[in-house]
Structure 1
Amino acid sequence: MIKRSHIHAFLAVVEAGSFTHAATRVRVTQPTLSAAIADLERLVGAILFIRNRRQVRLTEAGGRFLPIARELERGFRSADAFGRDGGDDWPTLKLGAIRSVSGEMLQSLAEKLADDFGIELIEGSDSELRAALGNGRIHAALTLLRPGEAGPQIKPLIAEPYVMLVAAGHRLAGGGEVAPDELAAETMIARRSCELLDVTSRFFTRHGVRPRFALRSESDDRCLRMVAAGVGITTAPLSLAIDGTVAVRVRGYDYSRHLGLLIDPNWLSETEGGARLEKFQTAWLAALSSLELRKTNGL
């Protein structure tokens, strides 16, 4: 018989992309997790994962089993909540947000949403939030939209360029646009939360820029404050600019991102779903109107 532990193990591997990371996530040893997956494959009569040294990915059968597993997990969660009194209805909105959404933007949005929702915020990467949405652990995710992504449960919100952020008194602050090789002597700050970290590294390496790094951090707030202090410069989405920093375009570094809202269709299909979505969109528009995205030199 399929148990909840089987479903937890299966979804953990899907989310983590490896047995090692999945085992850490569900707090078991890797042999225990591997045994659970093997047992599940025996029960369903099909191999669910293709395993190799580089990655673990779903087989065709695994892909077909994924929505079933997610539905089972939702059922388990509903069963856990069954019979609880009204005091357990919090939160009314479980909102996921990628770590690189600016604190100012998220604060403004939360202030608007708090009038209508009890909010629980969950941070994660784009892949983590999408997995949490599919498993029913969150109601909506503020994350990156992929090219061509569309549908009633997908709400585009904002598009913005990636730029180089420098201190207001930096020699490049008034230049508007610089060539990559002009940055060769600069000290950089690495935002480890950046979705384009690998792309950015390859871009500068390709142009012969191999900088020294003053800071490598998961904290965007810390990174940007060190930029404002003149410790180094960093690439970031325009909305992350803070007081004391100036955005500069780097020639050829023509990347942008689209932020959007992904919504659990089951949450939308509930009686209050339409009203919830309308409240959320109203709050988002109000939040955007209260923010002043910093634009310099025509960015």
Structure 2
Amino acid sequence: MIKRSHIRQFLAVVDAGSFTRAAQQIRVTQPALSTGIADLERLVGAPLFIRNRRQIRLTEAGGRFLPIARDLERGFRAADGFGRAKESAKPALKLGTIRSAPGEFFQTIAALLARDFAIEISENSDSELRAAIQGGRLNMALIPLRQGEREPNVVPLYEEPILMFVGAGHALAGQDEVAPEQLAPETMIARRSCEFLDATSRFFTRHRVRPRFALRSDSDDRCLRMVAAGVGITTAPASLAIDGVVPITVSGYDFRRELGLLIDPAWRAQGGIEQRLSHSLPALRRAAADWADARVEA
């Protein structure tokens, strides 16, 4: 008999793209995950994955089984919440966010949503949050929107530039614009949460800038504070600026990000959710506009 653990393991491998990452995400050992998938394949009577060293791909049978598995997982989650529905007047909202979302802004978002929902929050990368929405493991996520991404379940909030930051006392702090080549002697700090990390690396490589790195960190606060301390320089969204750092314009470096909410349509279709969203979403848009305006004025 197919169990929920089989479905959970199957979807984890699909969303993660590897057995190793899937095992880490659902907190099981890789041998246990492999055994579970083999058991599921025996139960459905067909291989579900094509395995090789480079990637894991779905077989034809796996592709047909995927929408069934997603529907089953949503059903399991609805059943989990059924008994708890009477305990709280507010429906549950599993809310995800990228790690580089400004703390003050996310506080505003969470406070507004908490008026209408009982929130459970998780942090992850853009790709992992999108996979979690698609798999029904999250109901909503604050993520960087892709260019031109507009649909009923996408809620744009605000846009901002990605800037190069130096310490307030840095020699380049007073210059209006610098060429990328001028940064060749600088020591860099890498924000691992940066959505444009690879693109930034390619940008500087094209200009033959291969700097030394003083720090690579998942903590945006630590990276910016090391810039303020004079340890190095870094790129970051404008909203992450702190006291002691100043932005400089680098010729040709013109990346921007737009943050918005991605909503699971299956969750949105559940009874009572749309009514609450019709109250929350306009307030979120107004708050985002006010917040962005305040940052510009500052």
- With normalisation by structure 1, the TM-score equals 0.88
The reply to whether residue 185 of structure 1 matches residue 160 of structure 2 is no
Q: In structure 1, what is the equivalent of residue 55 of structure 2? A: 55
Deviations 1:112-150 (A, max 9, x none): 333333322211111221222223232211112223433
> Match for 1:167: what amino acid?
G
Deviations 1:41-94 (A, max 9, x none): 333344332322222233444334322212111212222333346325666322
What displacement does 1:232 show? 1.5
Taking only the aligned residue pairs, the percentage that are identical comes to 66
CA 1:152–1:49 in 2, change beyond 3 Å: closer, same or farther? same
Q: In structure 2, what is the equivalent of residue 290 of structure 1? A: 291
1:169-248 equivalences in 2 (<5 Å) = 169-248=169-248
- With normalisation by structure 2, the TM-score equals 0.89
What displacement does 1:194 show? 1.1
2:85–2:91 CA contact under 8 A, matched in 1: no
Deviations 1:188-228 (A, max 9, x none): 11101112222222222232212122221101111112222
The 2-side partners of 1:174 and 1:148 are apart by 35
CA 1:93–1:69 in 2, change beyond 3 Å: closer, same or farther? same
The 2-side partners of 1:232 and 1:283 are apart by 39
What displacement does 1:261 show? 1.0
CA 1:252–1:50 in 2, change beyond 3 Å: closer, same or farther? farther
5+ residue gaps, structure 1: none
5+ residue gaps, structure 2: none
1:165–1:246 CA contact under 8 A, matched in 2: yes
CA 1:28–1:120 in 2, change beyond 3 Å: closer, same or farther? closer
Q: In structure 2, what is the equivalent of residue 104 of structure 1? A: 104
2:105–2:291 CA contact under 8 A, matched in 1: no
> Match for 2:39: what amino acid?
D
Deviations 1:225-263 (A, max 9, x none): 222232211111222222332222222223222222111
What displacement does 1:295 show? 8.0
1:241–1:294 CA contact under 8 A, matched in 2: no
The 2-side partners of 1:189 and 1:290 are apart by 27
1:1-299 equivalences in 2 (<5 Å) = 1-84=1-84, 86-87=86-87, 92-288=92-288, 289-291=290-292, 292-294=294-296
**Stretch deviating more after TM superposition (265-274 or 188-197):** 265-274
The 2-side partners of 1:53 and 1:145 are apart by 32
1:239–1:294 CA contact under 8 A, matched in 2: no
The 2-side partners of 1:137 and 1:83 are apart by 18
SS of the aligned residue for 1:293 comes to helix
**Stretch deviating more after TM superposition (30-39 or 119-128):** 30-39
The 2-side partners of 1:47 and 1:117 are apart by 41
> Match for 2:291: what amino acid?
S
The 2-side partners of 1:278 and 1:243 are apart by 38
The 1-side partners of 2:82 and 2:114 are apart by 26
1:160–1:239 CA contact under 8 A, matched in 2: yes
> Match for 1:251: what amino acid?
S
2:144–2:260 CA contact under 8 A, matched in 1: yes
1:91–1:120 CA contact under 8 A, matched in 2: no
1:19–1:33 CA contact under 8 A, matched in 2: yes
The 1-side partners of 2:162 and 2:126 are apart by 17
The 2-side partners of 1:295 and 1:10 are apart by 49
SS of the aligned residue for 2:141 comes to strand
**Stretch deviating more after TM superposition (6-15 or 168-177):** 168-177
What displacement does 1:283 show? 3.2
**Stretch deviating more after TM superposition (97-106 or 284-293):** 284-293
What displacement does 1:264 show? 1.2
What displacement does 1:165 show? 1.4
SS of the aligned residue for 1:235 comes to strand
CA 1:88–1:108 in 2, change beyond 3 Å: closer, same or farther? closer
Q: CA RMSD in A?
A: 2.4
SS of the aligned residue for 2:146 comes to coil
2:90–2:116 CA contact under 8 A, matched in 1: no
